[in-house]
Amino acid sequence: MSLPRRFYSRPAEDVARDLLGKVLSHGKTAGTIVETEAYPGGDDLASHSAAGLTERTRVIFGQAGHAYVYLCYGIHDCFNVVTGREGEPGCVLIRAIDPLAGIGLMQKRRPNARNASEFANGPGKLTRALGITRAHNGADLVRGPITIHEGKTKRDSRIEVTPRIGITKCADRPLRFLLRY
């Protein structure tokens, strides 16, 4: 069962933290979300939405619970979840997942990976492993084909908060969330 719309209709920081431990799936592949970053918009210059409402950032300003997929460094597709109220910008970048299903398929899609832990331990790797592309930009996660649902609660799991990485602006804000277990 997919997470309800209201789960996403909250501030990006809250959604980013609560997304840890949830399961992201597409087709036969799925994995537990273990790393996220919040891009709340507003005065956060690191957010793509800081440039304002453009053709590219349109979906970030749209209804929560939709996918924002963009091309990074001309090479990689990165997957985000739109958050907050409609008309207000905000999204969460999914940075890493722990493979749960479709291991064989992920292996095939990521020939460079040495082992399962390297299938989706990065924003660009994760989209490759799950088969997510820019064609999914704007897709509704409540309906599919990409969905997010509850996962099993792991024992002794802790949430770690650090500054976001790979950015130059607002690089000091603690908006990166990791699940350690």
Partner DNA sequence: CAATAGATCATCT
Partner DNA sequence: GATGATCTATTGC
Residue 91, interface with DNA (CB under 7 A)?
A: yes
Of 14-22, 71-79, 142-150, 173-181: span binding DNA (CB under 7 A): 71-79
78 near DNA (CB under 7 A): yes
Which of positions 120-139 make contact with DNA (CB under 7 A)? 122-126
- Smallest distance, DNA to C-beta of residue 50, A: 9
To DNA, the closest distance from the beta carbon of 153 in angstroms equals 27
Place of tokens 């997919």: 2
CA distance 137 to 133: 8
Q: Which of 3, 13, 25, 48 binds DNA (CB under 7 A)?
A: 48
Helical (H) or strand (E) element with 8: helix 5-8
> Within the chain, how many helices (H) and strands (E) appear?
4, 8
Q: Indicate the SS3 state at residue 65.
A: coil
Residue 74 token pair:
């001309």
Rounded-to-integer distance, Cα 108 and Cα 106, Å:
5
Q: Contact positions toward DNA, by CB under 7 A? A: 37, 39, 46-49, 51, 54-57, 60, 68, 71-76, 78, 80, 91, 93, 110, 112-113, 118, 122-126, 164-169
